[in-house]
A = this chain, B = another copy of it.
């Protein structure tokens, strides 16, 4: 179906908004009145600009406080409407959105509302314009879609139909099934928005917290299915009021918006893009660093061996068991301190995964290949992390390690080390977007968000995982915005014996993050331990957690650049990430100067 977006959903001048919508692949726009008023372009110039950009103007919006008014007020409304219809003629916009009255003058009289909307439609028809009447969730007398439809039906005017808006319908808890009672040709327009499930005043919720379908908690797809059953064939249009989108660059927001509609269309069966290829493990994590030495020392102390070197680039492969870490002392323009720059995802079908990503507008990266390099499919995540779809020892698929030359033998068998999860700091304004990206592009499943108290600000954290937990990515963001780069990324390594691993690391000269004694006193209050167990943890700085399934023990290395490593052991099916311990870990990282510097 045709896709459209309201200009109010994007940041910037009207020209910037139109350009961003066009580049992201939208077919049309809703022109929000304030965007037009504030533009130095005449209506004719806006019309021409849209045509140049391949955009139709699907809706002019909104007209307010038009129906169920005393005669004098209604006369004023018609006067305004005449001006606006003339404007729409110059603009080439064929449909106008009329919101249900919030005016204190409006009366509770459906017959009057129908009569006046009919009169408005008469006037519109003269200019070849259609009127789409919508129930605002906070309308004075009309606040539900079925009520708005009854009034439209009563008016029985060919130029009068209804506009459905998923936010207004779902935020009120209305049952969208009744949409199927409306003839499709009388649904003049469909506006789509999602929102997080907040128990808050609906007007505030609507004006500040809407988001794109799939980013929030509404069943937008379910609503769309009802709409499609009516035979509606107008555009799917996004109308999102969001404080964050208002100040984010229009280009990326428009791409996220278009992606959300592509996923939505797939969900309801309107389109069939390449199916998601869920990654089945981590092939590698790649650190980029201006100075390989501190990273190498850390990995060596952890018992990693440098097993191979890239044939064409300054990239070393370090390995222990199934945990593989690339250390890239790459080109100078990327030398902004040690950081976790890329993730190799073990993929059953790397090419299919890349095709899926491309169909959902993930930026496909130019292949980093020298002559003879194995083809590597890669895309960029919203935070800029490079995601490689690759295969390790899979029959029939090129092995990404073919680009590497062995320098030492890996002891592949050793004690079950593997990457348990990666933690990636997200830019403040991209948290919801990141979750949608990982779900739709990679087929991972977002878990609940958790709040974590850092001494210098609250963090919000959300994991995306595959079904068997062999891929876990933890997305972290400051709950209130701050200098994002202050937060560290990390690689968490699972082992079958974290105590032995920690001891060995320390014996090899590694320094573990010291944890305050008070923490262990509290553990003693909360749990009973075997003799000496707690002392071992206290000695090594091992943190402890327990859930309904099992136990979790973990400790931390020093931070290098923006990155630190975690050693952990999951027992009995523990599912979390030790979030209860995160405040203590974060405070300890702040406290120990050596753990926060580069």
Contacts and interface: CB of A to CB of B under 8 A. Distances in A.
Given A455-B13, A479-B243, A37 B584 contact: yes
Contacts of A522: 33, 37, 83
Contact of A200 (B198, B247, B481): B198
B79 A525 contact: yes
B84 A525 contact: yes
A11 B456 contact: yes
A346 B65 CA distance: 44
A413 interface: no
A455 to B, nearest CB: 6
Contacts of A583: 34, 37-38
Chain A interface size, as a band, is 35 or more
A12 interface: yes
Contacts of A37: 516, 518-519, 522, 583-584
A246 B480 contact: yes
A253 to B, nearest CB: 12
A228 to B, nearest CB: 33
A458 interface: yes
A361 interface: no
A524 B80 CA distance: 8
Contacts of A247: 456-458, 478, 480, 482
A549 interface: no
A517 B42 contact: yes
B451 A207 contact: yes
B199 A83 contact: no
Contacts of A244: 480
Interface string A61-104: 00000000000000000011011100100000000000000000
Contacts of A478: 247
Interface stretch (A140-148, A370-378, A558-566, A586-594): A586-594
A202 to B, nearest CB: 9
Taking chain A's interface residues, is the majority helix, strand, or loop, or is none over half, making it mixed?
helix
Contacts of A33: 522
B525 A80 contact: yes
A455 B38 contact: yes
Contacts of A82: 525
B456 A246 contact: yes
A39 interface: yes
A451 B241 CA distance: 13
Nearest to A43: B518
A331 interface: no
A323 to B, nearest CB: 29
A521 interface: yes
Interface of A: 11-13, 33-34, 36-40, 42-43, 79-80, 82-84, 87, 198-201, 204, 207-208, 243-244, 246-247, 429, 451, 453-458, 478-482, 514, 516-519, 521-522, 524-526, 583-584, 586-588, 590-591
Given A13-B591, A37-B584, A38-B518, 19 more contacts: A11-B457, A34-B453, A34-B583, A34-B584, A36-B518, A37-B522, A38-B587, A39-B516, A83-B521, A83-B522, A87-B521, A198-B204, A243-B479, A246-B453, A246-B458, A247-B456, A247-B480, A429-B480, A480-B481
Q: 7 nearest interchain CB pairs?
A: A247-B457, A83-B525, A38-B587, A200-B200, A199-B201, A243-B480, A80-B525
